[in-house]
Amino acid sequence: MSDYLMTLIEKLQAKSAHIGIIGLGYVGIPLALRFSEVGFHVLGFDIDDQRVDTLNSGKSPIEHISSNDIRRITEHGFEATADFSRIGEVDAIIICVPTPLSKHREPDLSFITGTMDAISPYLRKQQVVSLESTTWPGTTEEVLKPYLTDRGFEVGRDIYLVYSPEREDPGNPDFTTRTIPKVVGGSSVECLKVGELLYAHAVDRVVPVTSTQASELVKLLENIHRAVNIGLVNEMKTIADRMSIDIYEVIDAAATKPFGFTPYYPGPGLGGHCIPIDPFYLTWKAREYGLNTHFIELAGDTNRNMPRWVVGKVADALNDHQKSLNGARVLALGIAYKKDVDDVRESPSIMVMELLREKGVLVEYSDPHAPTFPKMREHSFDLSSVDLTPETLSAYDCVVLLTDHSAFDYDLILEHAPLIIDTRGKYRGINTKVVKA
């Protein structure tokens, strides 16, 4: 065992190691909270100066994380910075940056490579680098490792490299950073040992795997499993609709089987930073091996087509009420990708709004978690959230329930909206002025 390894292990065991977290978003901030809670000194890095200032002032930029939590860790030494030259101050570097798709639906690793470009000049011996961003199997070895070896480091001897996929579920009160098991793969046996020690303080259970590639594939399998099953139930929804069968009744009855079935529920499509994107990382990498991922791509096509199916249901419902889609006033209920969060990334609600707007609809939205429509690279609406009152609801030709936030007054909506397009099954068993979508 090298002196570098022994010293780093001693620091991790004694909690005297300094933790650096790059990317202070939905993954990075919970990690910063957790490592601070267990006694580590944490330095956070982000390229967004405004976010850095917000955190340093003791305020949370994310709705489901309280400012009290941020103030508590800042009082115990947490600091955010946009100065990547300070990377030499930390012993562990955890990278939690986005991995989107390009416009051609190919992996975009520019945030990862940009991070490595920024920190490489300041890396030193006796550090561990852990990537948590979702990516294709081989990224840690093929993309990150050369940054270290090109600097003259010997991975596994004087610097350590691991991959540990994030498993955050924002807004889910049943699971926390501490209680969600943490998968870790190392670039070597020594790297895995360091990775296990790093995360063992922060989580209840560490799950080691034999390689970084296996760890990368674990994350993809988890999200592909969900994407495929959601695609299946969305397709079943369209079949049940044509047969005049209530898909929710079918799912609930099937879920009584105590083995071999897990219930998934349909919706207007897929959203968030993982499930709509991650399967295509494996699809892209599989081509390198001469393989086609037909099954995964078919599920993706089904899920991407759901917003169009919803718009078709809106058009049919308005037509049944002697109204045209062109010129109609429609209120979208919820623009977040899932209930009770403020995250709108890849939200199918926004795709529904865009498709309606393209067809001449005057579309507005109501979302208690998004008071103003956020700035986005690919979508632009100059809108603010509409307050739900009897007067506002009755002024629209129809409302489309896209995100089933707990804060919505569903009785008020049912009483005063002239027509409801329900994509979430909130109005099960109600047929008057409710159209299932």
Q: Are 223 and 248 in contact (CB under 8 A)?
A: no
Please report where in the chains the tokens 């350590």 appear, as a residue: 160
- Rounded CA-CA distance 224/221 in Å is 5
Diameter over CA atoms, the chain: 79
* DSSP single-letter state for residue 140: I
Please provide the size of the chain in residues. 437
CA 313 → CA 270, 320, 399, 423, distances in Å? 18, 11, 12, 10
Q: Is 96 a catalytic residue?
A: no
CA 298 → CA 141, 230, 292, 293, distances in Å? 30, 12, 11, 9
- Rounded CA-CA distance 33/138 in Å is 29
Enumerate helices (H) and strands (E) in the chain, giving the number of each.
Answer: 16, 13
Give the other-Cβ count within 10 Å of 205's Cβ. Answer: 12
The residue from 96, 191, 274, 398 that is catalytic is 274
Helices (H), 306-403: 306-320, 348-358, 390-394
Beta strands in 371-426 (DSSP E): 398-401, 420-422
- Report strand pairing: 159-163 vs 127-131: parallel
CA 51 → CA 163, 296, 314, distances in Å? 26, 36, 39
- Rounded CA-CA distance 290/255 in Å is 38
Catalytic residues: 274
